[in-house]
Structure 1
Amino acid sequence: MDNRGIDQLIGQLRSTAQTASGKSATAAPSEAGGVDFAQVLQSALKDVSAAQNEARAMSREFSAGNPDVNIQDVMVNLEKASLSFQQMVQVRNRLVSAYQDIMNMPV
């Protein structure tokens, strides 16, 4: 049984958890010792884009008849890309909602 896809998924989940908790190596600390929000958001967007590109490429390889690509890995990668995109849309929705709440506050 090939556990490569599961191990890769677990690794991505761990890196996402580290990014969310502020322990990411890609996020540079700001002056106050925190995490630069813009850089974390940009890193997350790049991760989502990379997941979608990888899933698309794997799908093309499977469609072309590459014997090294199996349908299980293709479906797992497509689902991971879909979930990461949906997660990013939810983050965007929360940011827009927070922005609207702030803009509606009386001065």
Structure 2
Amino acid sequence: MKINEFTPDSKIFESNSVGNVINKENNDSNVFFTILKDKLNEVNNKQISAEKFTSDFIKGEDVDVHEVMINSEEAKMSMELAVQVRNKIVEAYQELNRMQL
């Protein structure tokens, strides 16, 4: 009796393939963490840039008020997006912890 339509790939059970799959998973997780780190660095750079434009404007340097507002809003929106992404990751992690095996 066939329970489901899943047919495992025979290459999964070979020793080289298992090593390659494990290495591929490690590389995929490293790529994910690298991308996540890079994007968080971009958010940080936007925050620093907005702070610099604001402080330059307050000091009376030649900075257009429109640039200050645009940089501030970009920094604010990127931070809000980062928080929402973090919330989704935490929610997914909590959902995985609630699953029964």
Gaps of at least 5 residues in structure 1 are 1-29
The sequence identity of aligned pairs, in percent, is 32
Q: Provide, for residues 1-50 of structure 1, a one-character-per-residue CA deviation record: whole Å limited to 9, x for no partner.
A: xxxxxxxxxxxxxxxxxxxxxxxxxxxxx836858110010001000000
**Number of equivalenced pairs:** 77
Gaps of at least 5 residues in structure 2 are 1-22
Q: Provide, for residues 49-80 of structure 1, a one-character-per-residue CA deviation record: whole Å limited to 9, x for no partner.
A: 0000000001000000002x110000000000
Report runs of 4+ in structure 1 exceeding 6 Å deviation: none
Instruction: State which of 22, 26, 46 in structure 2 corresponds to 1:51.
Output: 46
Report the structure, 1 or 2, having the larger helix content: 2
Query: How does the TM-score come out when normalised to structure 1?
Result: 0.67
> Does the residue aligned with 1:46 lie in a helix, a strand or coil?
helix
In the alignment, which residue of structure 2 is the partner of 1:80?
A: 74
| Higher radius of gyration, 1 or 2 | 2
Query: How does the TM-score come out when normalised to structure 2?
Result: 0.71
**Hey, what's the Cα distance between the residues in 1 that align with 2:81 and 2:75?**
10
CA RMSD of aligned residues (A): 1.7
